Structure 1
Amino acid sequence: MDSATVAHFEASRHRLASLAYRLLGSAADAEDTVQDAFLRWQATDRGYVRVPEAWLTKVVTNLALDRLRSAQARRERAVGAWMPEPLLDGDPMLGPADTIEQRESVTLAVLTLMERLSPVERAVYVLREAFSYSHAEIADILGITESASQQHAHRARRRITVDGNNSDVDCASAHRIVEAFVAAASSGRTERLVTLLTDDATGISDSAGLGLGARLIHYANPEQIARAVRIGLEPSPAKRNLVGGSPSIHAVVVNGCPAMLVALDARVLGVTILEIRDNKIAGVRGIATPHRLARLTEEWRRQEHAAPLIASW
């Protein structure tokens, strides 16, 4: 393959990766999908490719759909152990963020809600909302009719309601929100933390480090969330021995939402993502499983960091 052909693919890599990530909810699977597309690009007779960008989009979309339809993916998502993989602000895989729809499409809340959709509905929703493809273009990509694309888009929008989640959080706002969250959680008083949460706030954790396997833990109300967070943020020698030292706690932006990040040296131990509605925290997502943090940790090592909220926990 000549250098110009490779360069053409590389110029599209970030866009293709952000498409695959939205379709799959996994950075690792998105990277594998883009690599598979590169191999097909390498093997194809490009003399028959009239519009390379459209060809690559079609290949990546359909490769991602094959992954979603696979028996392994259905099992993993059915057992209740699946969560979207978080990405740190600044990661090119987050892709376009010019519109509200583009920003919302990459939040963990929407990536989770997209699990309600069929693979084709998910593809139509992502291509339409996040990448502004016309229904005629989507029909060609997916091999369906234009009217079918419109119907899939209508059903997808009806099933995905973000309920006013604020996906326009800048670093300064995120810092203030996380600082208040950490201060309340560290105070030892659950009622102080409850006041930061909406009355219908819910939480979810991947249970890493709790000896519960891959099972997700759900918290149904503000009081349960507050107790879990308070206990989790209470330092102890046993916890420090478990992680190998005294980590620092930082305020960051993850998938467009404020987040508390716990790091030891250059290793991210966990993130807690806060979903905001009406200036309160409506959702709390805790992720600490190492393979879910692999890409985020790589990006964390590349970036400059602001001063931590807590330098040594």
Structure 2
Amino acid sequence: MPLVRLSLTYEVDHIPYGHKKSRPEFVRDAVSVEIKEIAPGSAPVSHRILDRRDRVQTEVRYYENGYWWLLNDVDKPMSPERFTSSPDDLDWPILEALDLRGFLGMQTEDDLRANKSRILRTEKESQWKKAQAGAAKIFFCESRVWVEAGPPNYFGAREGTTISFSAGPSSLERIRGANPLFGPDLNDRKFSARRGVAFDVDEFEGADFHEQAAGKIEVLHRVQNVSHLPLPGMAPERCARELAAYLWRDRTSRLVELVPSLAGDSSETCPDDEKLHRDVLEEFAALTENEAGIFSGELEGAREILRRFNSRPLNELEDAAIASLGL
């Protein structure tokens, strides 16, 4: 398998020689990770993204239960040669594809030890494991680099009464940077989810959304399901989680007073609890714009996500729960 050489940067806590207090330090280490090379038949094209004139804009491949997107390098697909020829330095597109952080530390951990620093804590092993996990989300195929980023979804952007939709990867965690994947960038995908206008393919193409959406709908790109695989994706639960996490992370004391579900935990990260997410949105959606303050722009998103929850058909578990109540 091809090897990619990169600078693994991570944090250590150490006490320099002759000092008594510890200090954090970013260091780097040269490592190599292996990238799979896949035959086209092992990773067939599952979807194509078409423009409004039905011209193919990009393709998505299906491999090991994942959906893999072309990795771009500025304005063209990245080649395996470019990916593997990364210098032993910080190469941001490569680090992003591997889900790694990059820091500007110049010393190595060995340099610190050579200077008689006492190492108290090191992130080396955890970052090394993360590099290997990131490498498992990448393969080379047909002289291109492909990264796993979830099935295609539709992401909307409102402008007045018009919502324009583009297709892109459903992952809200994968790859920042200058348009490394086709479709809206990571921040725009997150924003679309918070505003309740991110949809999986089946929900978007269903009549319910188009009948109830206000204003004009523009579809800039269309998802063509080549393999007819069922598509898990941007259900209302995913949008609710993104909006709840946003409110949780940036909550103010005033918002916590008005939305009691935001007060249950002091951690910076919102717990992964669907009921909590739903409670946060229901309490938040009941506020006025004045009460919501700096979060007033998110009110419409909360109400749209809740509308989607309330308008979709009941699933089998919900049917059974209602039946058990004799209703």
Bigger strand fraction: 2
TM-score, normalised via structure 2 length: 0.26
The structure with the greater share of residues assigned to helix is: 1
Q: Which has the greater radius of gyration?
A: 2
The TM-score, its normalising length taken from structure 1, stands at 0.27
